Chain A
Amino acid sequence: MSACFSDLSQGQSFPDYRFVVSEDNCRDFDDCVSHGPITLTRASGSTEQLDTLDTKHVSLFQMNNFLVMKAAFKFPDNVLHAKEQLRSIAPVNAGDKLRMDFNITAKYVKRDRKYFEFGIDIYNEDTGNKVMEIGRTAVWPC
């Protein structure tokens, strides 16, 4: 059964979630995410095309996933993703062993809409260091 607003509490924490982003995952992610040329127009008016960097680490947006939340409870349909705060602390390589710590940092009703704020910290289990912090706000439908 899907988790509704009354089923979850502020301060609630959930079991750690462990995952690895493989090189295949990275290739698949890159295949889904693409963009055109990057142009830089200086305040002075001149324009140049920048060479897109060939990245070697896992994308911030591949780290910023919903896997820990999906493991913690069943999502209702039509959850609206409202806001995200991301802080990257250290690069992650394909194959690194990662752990997500997940808790509910706030729960409130505003203008008749039900909101949750979630906090997610990601650690590299090989080094023990935190690699990313995520704050996520979602509007809950039930």
Chain B
Amino acid sequence: MAMLNINPHKLAVGDKVKTNCDALVQDKLNRFGNMLGTNGKIHTDPEFAKTAPAGDVLVQGMLVLAPLHSVFCTLFGEDVWLTHGAMECKLIGATHPSEAITYDVEITAVEPNRVTLDYSCIKANDTKVAVGTATVGIEG
């Protein structure tokens, strides 16, 4: 069986990866929510959201994080990510639809069978809204 290459870009500790996502329109939040069950009023009803503690619609945490799937597929290969990938996400801040997000990824460990990284999702005002770690690793 061919050896699985988990690090096709030869990532090294300290390498940094970046991408971004533009502000989202309400229609995308609604469609995403209806598709995945994250269609609570705080995400889909601007009038309700005005009266909630957040004061405005909140983008679903998973919609904020979703571009990372494409980033990790690009870094490691789709089959590697989907067979040996794991991630932890902490949602630590609110994202409103008008706010663009920058994704910062930093490689923190590279071993023969495992690559580990930290990531942050950051608004234009430098507020982090989600942070976490991800690994691709083959046991044994």
CB within 8 Å of B: which A60-76 residues:
60-62, 64-67, 69-70, 75
Q: How many residues of B contact A (CB 8 A)?
A: 56
Interface Cβ pair total, 8 Å cutoff: 157
B38 at the interface (CB under 8 A from A): yes
A53 touches B74 (CB 8 A): yes
B21 touches A34 (CB 8 A): yes
Q: In the assembled complex, how far is the CB of residue A44 from the closest CB belonging to chain B, in whole angstroms?
A: 8
Q: In the assembled complex, how far is the CB of residue B20 from the closest CB belonging to chain A, in whole angstroms?
A: 4
Q: In the assembled complex, how far is the CB of residue B60 from the closest CB belonging to chain A, in whole angstroms?
A: 8
- A70 (CB) vs chain B CBs: closest residue: B37
Q: In the assembled complex, how far is the CB of residue B76 from the closest CB belonging to chain A, in whole angstroms?
A: 9
1/0 per residue B56-68: CB within 8 Å of A? 0000111101111
B67 touches A33 (CB 8 A): yes
B17 touches A38 (CB 8 A): yes
CB within 8 Å of A: which B13-57 residues:
13-22, 24, 28, 31-32, 35-38, 40-42, 48, 52-53
B86 at the interface (CB under 8 A from A): yes
Q: How far is it, in angstroms, between the C-alpha of A88 and the C-alpha of B69 when the chains are bound?
A: 11
B contact residues around A65 at 8 Å (CB): 35-38
A contact residues around B69 at 8 Å (CB): 55, 59-61
B13 touches A33 (CB 8 A): no
1/0 per residue A17-58: CB within 8 Å of B? 000000001001101111111111111000000111101110
Q: Which residues of A contact B (CB under 8 A)?
A: 25, 28-29, 31-43, 50-53, 55-57, 59-62, 64-67, 69-70, 75, 77-92
24 A-B pairs with C-beta separation under 8 A: A25-B35, A32-B32, A34-B22, A35-B20, A36-B21, A39-B19, A42-B12, A43-B16, A52-B70, A53-B70, A60-B69, A61-B69, A65-B38, A66-B37, A75-B40, A81-B60, A83-B88, A83-B90, A85-B89, A86-B86, A86-B89, A88-B84, A88-B86, A89-B83
Q: Which residues of B contact A (CB under 8 A)?
A: 9, 11-22, 24, 28, 31-32, 35-38, 40-42, 48, 52-53, 60-63, 65-71, 73-75, 77-79, 81-91, 103
